[in-house]
Amino acid sequence: MSNATAVTDADFEQEVEKHDGLTVVDFWATWCGPCRMIAPILDQLAVDYKDQVKVTKLDVDANIKTATKFNVRSIPMLLFFKDGKVVDQIVGAVPRQAIEAKFKQHAVA
């Protein structure tokens, strides 16, 4: 069971773009090995930062409209939204320290 909230084309605007504060969207797919590598990291960060950061996951195969809107060409791709605007991104599987540094940078600021 994931600690991240699953989002879709239908609820993306409400869950992410209208959310106040920091929201991280993990663009992923079931067949993506690197996506599966960072999934447990994001689940743990969702717990560690539950009062500061909303962590969400969007399956790019099932939600092509949103993936296209944000020009997602490689996955995994993490987009960091602050008050509904994209402020940062990470593309590819990176170590926990790199992801957590972005959480700290944007959640506190």
Catalytic residue numbers, as ranges: 32, 35
Give CA–CA dist 45/51, Å, rounded: 11
Give CA–CA dist 12/8, Å, rounded: 6
Answer whether 98's CB lies under 8 Å from 44's CB.
no
